[in-house]
């Protein structure tokens, strides 16, 4: 009897020890470096809202990512993160920028321009991410289709012999304060990178700071409107895949915005299907992914991925772009004044 008890205790003891051996390293471990993307492997489950949806609410500005290139340097190949040396370079650059920001005056021998001082712009934090594009695996946007190349050539041709500032149409949709499109509204730029998620029963709403957009995403499985209803921001429908919000956006106006910063780059077609995924991987971390599927423009789909950080103190301002667009007025007026002066001199 005693023997059996002893054995049981020893077995129990061994089991205990093995459990502790497994758990102890986990408790004590602090990873040498957090990976920027934590998707399927994340054990975090966001809290649920009272109506059952995962809570993704908050301010998720892309400010930290300012400066991360859209596309990867070809020499980096399939590497999603930069080398230690490259990261050190990014850190050094950030330090130089910080010093330059403190300068009160332009250097005595420096060139004086009309642009504001550097510190007017926001700066990101040095990131290890090699590029925003993560698929294709080389981190570079796939080639354009023949159709897209032709359109680009035609657009260039149309601009020949056309001076700058002849009309407001010479400016981008961004500088006209019309729209930056969906991707242009979230990719990190010089300032006002605010993105805010507000959720109601059956809906997710995303506010974008510059140029004040609100994307409303119904979650009820309803279909997109017919193809005769098109818009700059498209029509979005969403659903949950476990704790990931998956948004599908269609019904875009074609040949307007591109997928680049501020909506620049090659304009996408009206047939584009944009799939975005929002996954909260930690209380203050969101992984954002956008899959661009536009076979009329690019020869393959491609994916952008960004890790976003919750910043409850981020001030999301009203960006009254059009109301304050004195630059447009001044550029046109200035060009006409220049022309008049030239004509007067003849």
Partner 1 sequence: MRKTLTLLSTAAAAVVCISLTLTPDAARAQSAPTKKAKPGPVKIGSRMPDGKPNLNGVWEYIGAANWNIQDHSAAPGPFWQLGAIGAIPAGQGIVEGNEIPYKPAALEKKNQNKAHWPAEDPEAKCYMAGIPRSTYMPFPFQIIQSNQDILMAYEYASSNRLINMGKPIEAGSDTWMGTSNGHWEGDTLVVDVTGLNGLSWFDRAGNWASDKLHVVERYKRRDNDVLDYEATIEDPSVFTRPWKISLPLYRRAEKNAQILEFKCVEFAEELLYGKYKKQPAK
Which residue's CB is nearer to partner 1, number 15 or number 88?
Answer: 15
Measured from the CB atom, is 125 or 333 closer to partner 1?
Answer: 333
What is the spatial distance between Cα 262 and Cα 175, in angstroms, rounded to a whole number?
9
Q: Which residue, 112 or 341, is less far from partner 1 as judged by CB?
A: 341
DSSP for 96-165, please give it.
HHHHHHT-SS--TTSPP-SSPPGGGS-------B--SEEESTTSSPPPBPHHHHHHHHHHHHHTTT--TT
CB of 22 to partner 1, least distance (A): 9
Which secondary structure element, helix H or strand E, spans residue 27, and what is its range?
helix 2-28
Q: Judged by CB, which is closer to partner 1: 196, or 303?
A: 196
State in angstroms the smallest separation of the CB of 79 from partner 1.
Answer: 28
12, with CB counted inside 10 A (0-12, 13-18, 19+), is: exposed
Query: CB–CB of 66/193 below 8 Å?
Result: yes
Q: How many other C-beta atoms are found inside a 10 Å radius of the C-beta of residue 314?
A: 18
Measured CA to CA, the distance from residue 99 to residue 87 in angstroms comes to: 19
Cβ(338)–Cβ(181) under 8 Å? Answer: no
Residues that bind partner 1 (CB under 8 A): 1, 5, 8-9, 12-13, 15-16, 19-20, 23-24, 26-27, 43-45, 47-53, 57, 163, 165-168, 176-179, 196, 198-203, 205, 207, 212-214, 216, 218-219, 222-223, 225, 229, 231-233, 315-316, 318, 320, 322-323, 328-329, 332-333, 335-336, 339
Closest CB to partner 1 among residues 15, 100: 15
Report the nearest approach of partner 1 to the CB of residue 105 (Å): 27
The CA distance from 104 to 142, in Å, is: 44
Burial class (CB in 10 A: 0-12, 13-18, 19+), 291: middle
37 vs 174 by CB, closer to partner 1: 174
Question: Residue 168 CB, nearest distance to partner 1 (Å)?
Answer: 5
Least CB distance from residue 259 to partner 1, whole Å? 19
Q: Please, what is the minimum distance in Å from the beta carbon of residue 106 to partner 1?
A: 28
């Amino acid at each position: 009897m005693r023997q059996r008890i002893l054995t049981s205790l020893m077995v129990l003891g061994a089991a205990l020890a093995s459990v502790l051996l497994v758990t102890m390293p986990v408790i004590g471990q602090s990873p040498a470096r957090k990976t920027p993307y934590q998707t399927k492997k994340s054990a975090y489950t966001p809290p649920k809202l009272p109506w059952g949806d995962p809570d993704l609410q908050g301010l998720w500005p892309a400010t930290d990512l300012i400066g991360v290139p859209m596309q990867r340097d070809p020499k980096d190949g399939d590497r999603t993160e930069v080398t230690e040396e490259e990261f050190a370079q990014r850190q050094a650059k950030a330090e130089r920028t910080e010093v330059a920001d403190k300068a009160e005056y332009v250097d005595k021998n420096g060139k004086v321009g009309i642009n504001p001082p550097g510190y007017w712009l926001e700066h990101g934090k040095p990131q290890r991410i090699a590029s925003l594009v993560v698929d294709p695996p080389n981190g570079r946007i796939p080639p354009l289709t023949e159709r897209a190349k032709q359109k680009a050539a035609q657009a260039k041709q149309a601009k020949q012999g056309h001076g700058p500032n002849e009309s407001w149409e010479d400016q981008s949709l961004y500088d006209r304060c019309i729209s930056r499109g969906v991707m242009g509204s979230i990719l990190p730029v010089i300032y006002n990178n605010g993105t805010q998620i507000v959720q109601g029963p059956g809906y997710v709403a995303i506010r974008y700071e510059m140029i004040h957009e609100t994307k409303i995403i119904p979650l009820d499985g309803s279909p997109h409107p017919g193809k005769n209803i098109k818009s700059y921001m498209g029509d979005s429908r969403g659903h949950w895949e476990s704790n990931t919000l998956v948004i599908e956006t269609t019904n875009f106006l074609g040949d307007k915005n591109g997928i680049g910063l501020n909506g620049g780059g090659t304009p996408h077609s009206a047939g584009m299907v944009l799939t975005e995924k929002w996954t909260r991987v930690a209380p203050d971390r969101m992984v954002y992914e956008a899959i661009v599927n536009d076979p009329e423009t690019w020869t393959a789909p491609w994916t952008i991925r960004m890790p976003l950080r919750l910043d409850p103190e981020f001030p999301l301002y009203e960006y009254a772009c059009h109301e304050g667009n004195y630059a447009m007025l001044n550029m046109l007026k200035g060009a006409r004044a220049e022309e008049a002066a030239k004509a007067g001199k003849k």
